């Protein structure tokens, strides 16, 4: 029977040793069966649980969830070693070297950059120059995973383009663009053209994300906040309906909107 790794080992080394034991023939049947591909749902789930812990302001929960996410990192590293694709140490060494390389304003002779926006622009330019130097065919926007949530992806694509200077100078022309997109959407609605409506809704959302980015607001977080607010206020309406003992269809839209206003006032108080 396998024994747990020695407690005297450094924490990271102990975790790596433990995962290798679990992957061994006499270890855990489930762990031994996993591949990069089968682990994808768990990796995504752990990332979202970390985000939940951050947004809920729970340090202890965050500590636990970061540990779970670290397990996924080590898991994929060990699977990569077993396939002889790469070594776990190479993963860590590679990212350390990349971070040093992409912070010339800290470790190099470059002038110090004054703002986070300047650092972001330099980061994107450095990524592009590294790709070109390696002779790779990757393009600037390839670094944003297509599987990201759409709002986050819109934010990152705009951020990457802005990193090489393709951006609005300020928020004013973006607001004008939003009004333009609204007009185009209205035209599509008037024409009763569903395909065009879909396209224009997408364009409108993308421009709103651009405005959000320009204002320094994460659109995913902003929308989550609005959804939480909607949930609270709609729950207020629902409880009012339940307390009345009447079915939903006996309430007019005006009556429901009146309760919505009450919910807003209750939140203000």
Which helix H or strand E contains 104, and what residues bound it?
A: helix 104-107
Q: Assess if residue 49 is contained within a domain.
A: yes
Q: Assess if residue 42 is contained within a domain.
A: yes
pLDDT in the model for residue 49: 93
Residue with the two structure tokens 């997408």: 202
At which of 81, 101, 121 does a domain end?
101
Q: Decide if 81 contacts 88 (C-beta within 8 A).
A: yes
pLDDT in the model for residue 123: 72
Tokens standing for residue 5:
């790794």
Q: Assess if residue 40 is contained within a domain.
A: yes
pLDDT in the model for residue 113: 67
Q: Decide if 196 contacts 202 (C-beta within 8 A).
A: no
Which helix H or strand E contains 82, and what residues bound it?
A: helix 59-82
pLDDT in the model for residue 212: 95
Q: Hey, what's the torsion of the CAs at 186, 187, 188, 193, to 10 degrees?
A: 130
At which of 82, 101, 120 does a domain end?
101
pLDDT in the model for residue 133: 60
Tokens standing for residue 58:
């729970």
Q: What is the CA radius of gyration of the chain?
A: 25
Q: Assess if residue 177 is contained within a domain.
A: no
28 closest CA partner among 88, 64, 78, 69 = 78
Number of domains composing the chain: 2
pLDDT in the model for residue 226: 94
Tokens standing for residue 121:
């622009």
The neighbour count for residue 230, using CB atoms within 10 Å, is 11
Q: Decide if 127 contacts 113 (C-beta within 8 A).
A: no
Q: Assess if residue 209 is contained within a domain.
A: no
Q: Assess if residue 63 is contained within a domain.
A: yes
Start-to-end Cα distance in the chain: 62
At which of 32, 67, 101 does a domain end?
101
Q: Decide if 50 contacts 71 (C-beta within 8 A).
A: no
pLDDT in the model for residue 132: 61
Q: Assess if residue 197 is contained within a domain.
A: no
Tokens standing for residue 42:
């768990």
Q: With both helix axes pointing from N to C terminus, report the angle between 150-162 and 116-133 in degrees, rounded to the nearest 10.
A: 80
Q: Assess if residue 43 is contained within a domain.
A: yes
Low-confidence ranges of the chain (pLDDT < 50): none
CATH number where 35 lies: 1.10.287.1080
Q: Give me the domain span that covers residue 262.
A: 218-269
């Amino acid at each position: 029977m396998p024994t747990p790794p020695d407690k005297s080992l450094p924490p990271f080394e102990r975790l790596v040793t433990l995962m290798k034991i679990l992957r061994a023939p006499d270890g855990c049947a489930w762990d031994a069966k996993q591949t990069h591909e089968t682990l994808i749902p768990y990796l995504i789930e752990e990332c979202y649980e970390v985000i939940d812990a951050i947004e809920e302001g729970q340090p202890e929960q965050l500590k636990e969830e970061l540990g779970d996410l670290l397990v996924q990192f080590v898991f994929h590293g060990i699977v990569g070693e077993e396939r002889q694709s790469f070594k776990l140490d190479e993963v860590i060494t590679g990212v350390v070297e990349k971070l040093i390389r992409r912070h010339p304003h800290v470790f190099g002779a470059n002038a110090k950059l004054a703002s986070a926006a300047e650092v972001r622009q330099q980061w994107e330019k450095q990524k592009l120059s590294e790709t070109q130097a390696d002779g790779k065919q990757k393009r600037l926007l390839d670094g944003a995973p297509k599987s990201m949530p759409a709002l986050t992806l819109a934010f990152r694509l705009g951020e990457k383009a802005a990193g090489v200077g393709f951006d609005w100078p300020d928020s004013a022309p973006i607001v004008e663009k939003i009004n333009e997109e609204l007009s185009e959407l209205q035209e599509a609605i008037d024409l009763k053209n569903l395909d065009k409506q879909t396209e224009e809704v997408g364009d409108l959302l993308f421009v709103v994300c651009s405005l959000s980015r320009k204002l320094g607001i994460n659109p995913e977080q902003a929308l989550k906040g609005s959804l939480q607010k909607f949930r609270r206020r709609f729950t207020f309406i629902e409880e009012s309906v339940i307390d009345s003992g009447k079915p939903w269809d006996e309430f007019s839209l005006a009556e429901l909107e009146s309760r919505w206003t009450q919910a807003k006032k209750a939140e203000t108080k």
